[in-house]
C-alpha cells in the first residue's frame, strides 16, 4: 500500500467530521455570528496539514463574510498539496476560486476567504513576526505533538487580545482496538504507544486533552467550552465509509513506525500483531476508538 501523508489527511476528514464536539462547535458558531461583515476576520490555523479544516468550515457555512485565513504547516508536501487541492475542492463545492499572487481567494454568496499558505515551523514563523494578529487561532490534531505549556503561550502570541482559540482533537489517553487479539499484548502495546508520545524529544503528551484545562488557564485564557471529540471508526456491514480503511492502515503504520525497535516488544510478536490487525481492517472488522478533547477558549484582555 502506498503511504501518503496528504492522503491520510484526506481520509481523516470524515472521521474528524463525526468527532468534532458539537457543543464546542455551536459556541464557536455563536461567537462567529456576532462578527461584523465589514471587517476582515483574521484566522490562523497552525499545523494545518492540507487545509481540510478550512474546507470543512466553508462546507458547514461557519465562517464570517470576509475572512483572511493563514494556513501554516512545516511539511512542504502538505502545503504544495493544499495549494492545488483547496481550489479544486472549492470549485467542486460551489465556490469561485481565484489565484491572487501567492494567495488564493475562495468566494460564494455567503462569504469570501483569502487564503495565505505558509510553509514553516510555526515557532520560526512566530519569531519572524510576520503574522497578522488573529481573531481566531485554530489548532486541530496538533497541540498533543508540542511541548506544553510553553508552546501554547507562544501560539497565543498570534492572537489579538480577547481573541478566540478553537483547539480540537487533542489526544487524551485512550486508544482502543477491537476485537481483542490478546488482551495482555493489546494493553502493553497501547501503554508503550502512549508512553512514546510522552517521551518524544520534540514534545507531546498522551493526556494532552485533560491537561489543557490547566494549561489554558495558565496561559491567560478563559475556557468557553470543552468536550470530547473521540475518533470512532467502525465498519457498516463489513465496509468502512469513505476512505476510512486507508485511515486505519495509516494508524497501524504509526504504530509500526513508533514501536518497531521497541526494547519491550519482541519483533516477531509485534509483526504478527500488526499483520492480524491489518487483516482485521481488510476484512472490515477492526473498530478503532481514540479519546480526544476539543476546547473553545478566549484570550483575556489585558487589564
Ligand atoms: C496530525 S497532523 C494534523 C494536520 C491537520 N491539522 C489535520 O488534522 O488535517 C499535524 C500537522 O502538524 C504539522 N506540524 C508539526 N509540527 C509543526 C510545527 N512545528 N510547525 C508547523 N507545522 C507542524 C505536521 O506537518 C502535520 O501536518
Query: Does the beta carbon of 9 lie inside 6 Å of ligand 1?
Result: yes
- In this prediction the pTM is 0.97
Residues 6+ apart with CB under 8 A from 41: 32, 35, 63, 64, 66, 67, 68, 135, 136
Q: Cα(49)–Cα(71) distance, rounded to whole angstroms?
A: 8
Mean pLDDT for the stretch of residues 101-128: 96
Mean pLDDT for the stretch of residues 176-185: 98
Residues 6+ apart with CB under 8 A from 243: 7, 10, 11, 14
Cβ contact 220:299 at 8 Å: yes
Cβ contact 15:229 at 8 Å: no
Which ranges of 104-157 would DSSP assign to H, the alpha helix? 122-128, 150-156
Could you tell me the distance, in angstroms and rounded to a whole number, from the CA of residue 123 to the centre of ligand 1?
A: 12
Query: Does the beta carbon of 140 lie inside 6 Å of ligand 1?
Result: yes
For the cut 80, the answer to whether the pLDDT of residue 161 exceeds it is yes
**Cell of residue 58, nine digits:** 466553508
Q: Cα(271)–Cα(276) distance, rounded to whole angstroms?
A: 9
Q: Cα(303)–Cα(301) distance, rounded to whole angstroms?
A: 6
- For the segment 257-284, what is each residue's pLDDT rounded down to a tens digit? 999 999 999 999 999 999 999 999 999 9
Give all domains of the chain, ordered by start, each with its CATH number: 5-299 (3.40.50.150)
Query: Does the beta carbon of 47 lie inside 6 Å of ligand 1?
Result: yes
Amino acid at each position: 500500500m502506498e503511504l501518503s501523508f496528504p492522503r491520510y489527511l484526506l481520509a481523516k476528514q470524515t472521521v474528524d467530521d463525526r468527532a468534532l464536539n458539537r457543543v464546542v462547535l455551536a459556541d464557536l458558531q455563536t461567537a462567529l455570528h456576532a462578527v461584523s461583515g465589514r471587517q476582515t476576520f483574521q484566522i490562523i490555523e497552525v499545523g494545518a496539514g492540507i487545509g481540510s479544516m478550512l474546507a470543512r468550515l466553508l462546507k458547514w457555512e461557519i465562517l464570517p463574510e470576509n475572512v483572511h485565513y493563514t494556513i501554516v504547516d512545516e511539511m512542504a508536501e502538505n502545503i504544495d498539496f493544499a495549494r492545488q487541492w483547496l481550489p479544486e475542492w472549492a470549485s467542486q463545492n460551489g465556490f469561485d476560486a481565484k489565484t491572487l499572487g501567492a494567495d488564493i481567494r475562495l468566494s460564494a454568496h455567503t462569504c469570501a476567504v483569502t487564503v495565505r499558505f505558509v510553509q514553516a515551523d510555526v515557532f520560526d514563523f512566530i519569531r519572524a513576526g510576520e503574522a497578522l494578529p488573529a481573531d481566531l487561532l485554530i489548532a486541530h490534531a496538533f497541540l498533543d505533538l508540542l511541548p506544553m505549556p510553553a508552546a501554547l503561550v507562544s501560539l497565543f502570541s498570534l492572537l489579538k487580545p480577547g481573541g478566540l482559540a478553537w483547539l480540537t482533537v487533542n489526544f487524551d489517553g485512550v486508544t482502543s482496538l477491537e476485537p481483542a487479539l490478546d488482551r495482555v499484548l493489546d494493553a502493553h502495546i497501547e501503554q508503550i504507544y502512549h508512553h512514546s508520545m510522552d517521551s518524544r524529544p520534540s514534545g507531546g503528551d498522551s493526556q494532552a486533552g485533560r491537561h489543557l484545562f490547566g494549561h489554558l488557564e495558565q496561559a491567560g485564557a478563559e475556557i468557553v467550552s470543552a468536550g470530547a471529540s473521540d475518533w470512532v471508526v467502525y465498519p457498516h456491514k463489513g465496509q468502512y465509509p469513505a476512505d476510512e480503511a486507508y485511515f486505519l492502515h495509516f494508524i497501524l503504520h504509526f504504530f509500526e513506525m513508533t514501536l518497531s525497535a521497541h526494547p519491550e516488544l519482541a519483533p516477531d510478536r509485534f509483526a504478527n500483531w500488526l499483520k492480524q490487525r491489518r487483516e482485521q481492517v481488510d476484512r472490515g472488522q477492526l473498530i478503532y476508538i481514540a479519546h480526544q478533547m476539543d476546547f473553545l477558549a478566549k484570550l483575556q484582555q489585558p487589564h
